[in-house]
Structure 1
Amino acid sequence: MSIIYKKAYWWTFAVFIGFIITDVAKAQSDNTGERRVTGTYIITNANVAYPSGKIQSNTSILVKNGMITAVGKNIASPSNAHHIKGDSLFIYPGFIDGGSTAGVTKPKDPERPSNFNSASPPDDIAGITPYRNALDYFDLGNAQVSEWRKAGFTMAQILPEGGMLPGQTALVIFGDKTSTNIYSENTALYATFNASRGMYPGTLLGVMAKFRSLYRNAELSSQHSALFASNQGINRPERDKVLEAFYPTLDKSLPILFAVEDDLTVRRALGLQRELGFRMILSGASNVEEIIPILKDSQTAVFLSLKLPEDKISKIKEDEESDFERKERIDRIKSSYTKALEEAGKFEKAGIAFGFSSQGIKSADLMKNIRLMIANGLSEEAALAALTLNPARILGIDRYTGTVEQGKLANLVITTDSLFKEDSQVKYVFADGYLFEYDTKAKKTRSETTDEVDLAGTWTYVARSPQGDSQGQMVIARESNVYTGEITLDNPAGSGQITTAMNNIEYNNNRLRFEFSIDLGGNYLTFSVSGDIDGDEFDGDLSVTDLGSFPFKATKQPGA
């Protein structure tokens, strides 16, 4: 990012939402975890969730120095304990993300040497850096981490950014910024099918050939090193940090986490695993319904992608149904969309215990997507297991986390209602024993009529921040079932206001979501807005990648 772009980025953000990147630790709720007056907490009379799906009511939990020290009824409260009344609250194990890039930045691309040969490029230029560690590029203070913690995630396997072999993953806790929060430094060797642009390996088959070559050479290098260490008269082996990074995968002490996208890449990864024999975990799997039996037979651990395709069905105009060719196309779109929503349920039905990977989605879409999966065949018990116990088992940490039990880490999510209900909100999160508290909105009382409110019209909005409010208006039009709109905001380049299009407008059951972007000299800053409409009032949040989310309220103007 250039210096000019950085200045424009921050200027735009400051103008629009009032310099809200300043410290908000003094707000009413504490989402920083810094309000730790004691290391001892007792939560009383709450509803505690167990892996079977059972909810045990009137249950208390004692947390001390980062551990759960007691779970049950009539627990004596220590004199120094901070008391949280759990009446009507629900307690779940902290969520575990099997593949996250929250807080991880991509390393700077190395410069090409003067004698660069695209047919045989240096490893680091070709994206082959398995010796790197994601921790070297991870910032716990990044706003993305705060947003995912607010969504309920307390641990994550973070992924390095890069090419076909970006580096080693690590397991971190989304706890207090003063702690190390490193649970395990090297949890897997991360591999992708990302080809190198303009050089070898520049194709999917090239990536497979290069991976196969590196793995075989690592086997030979490891054997040579072992012989040199135990015998005289053996030539000293040359050190190669790329090949040495593979050594722990050769005896299966370290798995290879393969990033996959679809049926084809899953088959390619399984083919390499069968040929070379390494231990493998798949991350980000989607569109793989046809090979579920193969995955089950291979007993390969899987983190399914939480990303779902865009709902194009609701945007189709009614008159398009009359055209035969268009109807066939629409049927294909509907079938593809439905298959994506049903995939997690089919994994459950096949008996495959999977986890989730958040890579590629926004935290605001987490529960919406899981509820869609539940509505299309996934049970709530399996959904909870995929967020908690299953990833703990896949990552080998179920002795320490994944359930609410005495002796486990104090990683907890506390919600205002049963987790997957539409109105349920995260009220507290414990991560590593640190308490994070969040403001919750009172449940809205819907108008007596259940008809959807007419969205079209002119709305005035206020984006609120600790440093002040920013105001503007939205003008929304409707044609058939498709909404279009424009939003005005303060001009980041000077005085006055600018108008930009509202994109990806989704409106269903009085729930509104949309995005808009600002052009900063060829670079675009994208804002996302989502919330509920009740009558002439909109109550939601505005979020910006890397910078968090903030209240966004709007009122429809009379007669508009």
Structure 2
Amino acid sequence: MNINFNPKVFSSLLILALFFSLTGFAQSDPTAERRVTGTYAIKNATVITSPGKSISRATVLIKNGLIEGIGSNLIIPVEAQVIDADSLFIYPGFIDGASTAGVGRPADPERPSNFDPSNPPDEIAGITPWRNVLDNFDSKNNQITDWRKVGFTIAQIIPEGGMLPGKSAIVVYGGKESTNIIAQNTAMSARFRAQGGGRGMYPGTQLGIMAKFRDLYKNAELSARHNRLFASNSGLNRPEINKTLEAFYPVLDKNIPIIFEVSNDLEIRRALSLQKENGFRLVLGGATDLHNVVNDIKAANAQVLLSFRLPNDKTANAKTEEMSEEMKNRTQRVKEAYEHILKEAAVLEQAGIPFGFTSIGGKSNDMFKNIRTMIANGLSEDAALAALTVNNAQILGIQKFAGTLEKGKLANMVIATAPIFSEDAQIKHVVADGYIFDYEIKTKKNGNGTNGANGAVNIEGTWEYTSDTPAGSSGGVMSIKKEGDTYKGSIDYDNPAGNGKAKSDMNNIVLSGNNLSFTFNVNAGGMSLEVNVSGEIIGDEFTGSMSLADFGSFPLNANKKPNQLNQ
């Protein structure tokens, strides 16, 4: 029997074997095996039907996955199963404006023997606008589970790749037996990033990408015109079929927009420049660093998907007393830039630009914390909710059946224990495509195990963690100590080579209130893989999750050992 060794599959299994998980996200029905196929009544809840509009002690009637009615005086049918929702808050299901959750990257094609780096084939240059993101989408990926836990029920998924990686699709985070596809080819994805970082071929720079985009767009216009003339006139040469140019036709007709991923104000200006020249519908995806271009965005009538990712505040909060004058000035510029980013959502709201949120580059565990930070910096709660619901429904063109809670719309909703942006809010249920996902509520503890005399959380000491992944159970120790204004630490884990434990430094340790996050690297098969950990400390317990790109996240539990460092 021949056995073919696949390094990529081996690496994936190895990574899974390194993950540790815990019971912090215990769920009564996390897989949503039961679907709302009959009639259900969710009774006596505070129902927020849309931003700024709510009904107290209301009942939501659901029948066959659709909202049958909402109100405080509804007559509940005798056949309805009643769910008591006293003290709970019901919101429209969240919509992710652009996401790569569950999306894999296609394999790079081999270069031909006569490869010309100045004029590479489209596919090798990362120009594949004909691709469908669904060809590389795994609806069972753990990343989808993570985003659904924080309330997302629908997402526009975008392809991975180079300059023009393909077309997006809209999916619902529903049951495992459904295709969960709402719409295909909903937008063309574009970015100012060359295939493979450029790799010494055209277009290898942002200016080269702009030039290539202009060339493709104009050629697509000529191709479309030629096709129309050929179809209605005789005596014309037959047009050549070019799948790259044909992929632009829906953009030319303004049936779909182009989502340009942008990471700074320069890329925003370049995307706006291309839109002004060519007239396509533009969505700025993952936008940040936009305080200087708000007026330009508004003038272009461009739509915005704002990243809820926020930068690390370590430098922004640095003390400057003992710094040199040069370092003080540099740190001050960093602080100003940091404060601008915190206020960007509020600036968009004040400018009257209805924006949506995107998970691009963000972490599910950080979402509510970061949105609360934006609210503390001027964003209204109504605008924050709109960015998760009705605005993204408008941007995606699905407002007829999603974005608000109304009779006849999909029964997609988030059910929380408190107003959704409050510190105490926990998500108890998520309804997606008629499937109910239940999550166990964590009881807040008042223990003083990790609190100092001033009530501050003390993370110094030795923590024992446990994990349980599809690859098996594991455990280890992490040790943390404070040095000045920063923390140092180490974590051990099962050695991938199979001989005992290996140890890694804990990097980027950040303690914000009760929330702890850090990263560490695992060496496996000659590769260094970064693992992200974040969670909450209550008493002597840490409850959170760890994640690695492409594999989603797994719960992580740790308990602090009593020793001399814990005093």
TM-score class, shorter: over 0.9
Q: Which deviates more, 119-128 or 194-203? A: 194-203
Task: Provide structure 1 residue ranges, at least 5 long, that are not aligned to the other structure.
Answer: none
Q: Which deviates more, 549-558 or 192-201? A: 549-558
Name the CA distance, whole Å, in 1 between partners of 2:422 and 2:490: 32
**Secondary structure of the residue that 2:244 maps to in structure 1?**
helix
Name the CA distance, whole Å, in 2 between partners of 1:466 and 1:29: 19
**Secondary structure of the residue that 2:456 maps to in structure 1?**
coil
Residue in 2 aligned with 1:432? Answer: 433
How many residue pairs align between the two structures?
Answer: 553
1:556 and 2:561 aligned: yes
Give, as a single letter, the amino acid of the residue that structure 1 aligns with 2:507.
N
**Secondary structure of the residue that 1:519 maps to in structure 2?**
strand
2:36 and 2:62 in contact (8 A); partners too: no
Residue in 2 aligned with 1:335? Answer: 336
- What's the CA shift string for 1:254-293, capped at 9, x where partnerless? 2222221211111111111111111221111110101101
Name the CA distance, whole Å, in 1 between partners of 2:302 and 2:68: 34
Root-mean-square deviation over aligned CA pairs: 2.3
Return the offset for 1:536. Answer: 3.3
Name the CA distance, whole Å, in 1 between partners of 2:456 and 2:543: 16
Give, as a single letter, the amino acid of the residue that structure 1 aligns with 2:519.
E
**Secondary structure of the residue that 1:289 maps to in structure 2?**
coil
2:27 and 2:438 in contact (8 A); partners too: no
Residue in 1 aligned with 2:522? Answer: 518
1:13 and 2:16 aligned: yes
Name the CA distance, whole Å, in 2 between partners of 1:451 and 1:406: 47
Q: Which deviates more, 205-214 or 322-331? A: 322-331
Cα gap change, 1:477 to 1:515, in 2 (>3 Å): same
> Any residues of structure 2 matched to 1:369-518 within 5 Å, and which?
369-445=370-446, 447=448, 450-463=454-467, 470-518=474-522
- What's the CA shift string for 1:413-457, capped at 9, x where partnerless? 111111011221111111111111112211233649652132222
2:465 and 2:556 in contact (8 A); partners too: no
Residue in 2 aligned with 1:103? Answer: 102
Cα gap change, 1:245 to 1:385, in 2 (>3 Å): same
Name the CA distance, whole Å, in 2 between partners of 1:151 and 1:410: 17
Q: Which deviates more, 374-383 or 321-330? A: 321-330
Cα gap change, 1:208 to 1:482, in 2 (>3 Å): same
Cα gap change, 1:479 to 1:99, in 2 (>3 Å): same
Residue in 1 aligned with 2:315? Answer: 313
- What's the CA shift string for 1:389-434, capped at 9, x where partnerless? 0011112211211111111111101111110112211111111111
> Any residues of structure 2 matched to 1:21-60 within 5 Å, and which?
29-36=28-35, 38-60=37-59
1:464 and 1:552 in contact (8 A); partners too: no
Residue in 2 aligned with 1:157? Answer: 156
1:158 and 1:171 in contact (8 A); partners too: yes
Cα gap change, 1:319 to 1:249, in 2 (>3 Å): closer
Relative to the length of structure 2, the TM-score reads 0.92
- What's the CA shift string for 1:478-526, capped at 9, x where partnerless? 1111001011222222232221111111112232112222111332333
Residue in 1 aligned with 2:179? Answer: 180
2:446 and 2:539 in contact (8 A); partners too: no
1:38 and 1:80 in contact (8 A); partners too: no
Name the CA distance, whole Å, in 1 between partners of 2:79 and 2:533: 42
Give, as a single letter, the amino acid of the residue that structure 2 aligns with 1:14.
A
Name the CA distance, whole Å, in 1 between partners of 2:347 and 2:86: 36
Return the offset for 1:14. Answer: 2.9
Return the offset for 1:467. Answer: 9.0
2:45 and 2:89 in contact (8 A); partners too: yes
Name the CA distance, whole Å, in 2 between partners of 1:438 and 1:239: 52
Name the CA distance, whole Å, in 2 between partners of 1:28 and 1:291: 44
Cα gap change, 1:348 to 1:319, in 2 (>3 Å): closer
Name the CA distance, whole Å, in 1 between partners of 2:471 and 2:214: 55
> Any residues of structure 2 matched to 1:157-236 within 5 Å, and which?
157-196=156-195, 197=198, 198-236=200-238
1:38 and 1:81 in contact (8 A); partners too: no
Return the offset for 1:535. Answer: 4.0
Q: Which deviates more, 44-53 or 405-414? A: 44-53
Cα gap change, 1:8 to 1:275, in 2 (>3 Å): closer
User: 1:540 is matched with which residue: 541, 544, 549?
Assistant: 544
2:462 and 2:479 in contact (8 A); partners too: yes
Task: Provide structure 2 residue ranges, at least 5 long, that are not aligned to the other structure.
Answer: none
2:16 and 2:469 in contact (8 A); partners too: no
2:480 and 2:490 in contact (8 A); partners too: yes
Give, as a single letter, the amino acid of the residue that structure 2 aligns with 1:236.
R
Name the CA distance, whole Å, in 2 between partners of 1:36 and 1:276: 46
Give, as a single letter, the amino acid of the residue that structure 2 aligns with 1:294.
D
**Secondary structure of the residue that 1:290 maps to in structure 2?**
coil
Residue in 2 aligned with 1:90? Answer: 89
Identity %: 53
Residue in 2 aligned with 1:75? Answer: 74
Residue in 2 aligned with 1:113? Answer: 112
**Secondary structure of the residue that 2:330 maps to in structure 1?**
helix
Give, as a single letter, the amino acid of the residue that structure 1 aligns with 2:236.
I
Residue in 2 aligned with 1:365? Answer: 366
Name the CA distance, whole Å, in 1 between partners of 2:265 and 2:415: 37
Name the CA distance, whole Å, in 2 between partners of 1:463 and 1:380: 36
1:292 and 1:350 in contact (8 A); partners too: yes
**Secondary structure of the residue that 2:108 maps to in structure 1?**
coil
2:41 and 2:62 in contact (8 A); partners too: yes
Name the CA distance, whole Å, in 1 between partners of 2:277 and 2:189: 18
Cα gap change, 1:535 to 1:321, in 2 (>3 Å): farther
Cα gap change, 1:522 to 1:353, in 2 (>3 Å): same
Return the offset for 1:346. Answer: 0.6
1:518 and 1:525 in contact (8 A); partners too: yes
Cα gap change, 1:315 to 1:353, in 2 (>3 Å): closer
Relative to the length of structure 1, the TM-score reads 0.93
Give, as a single letter, the amino acid of the residue that structure 2 aligns with 1:313.
T
Return the offset for 1:556. Answer: 3.3
Return the offset for 1:150. Answer: 1.1
1:130 and 1:166 in contact (8 A); partners too: yes
Q: Which deviates more, 536-545 or 472-481? A: 536-545
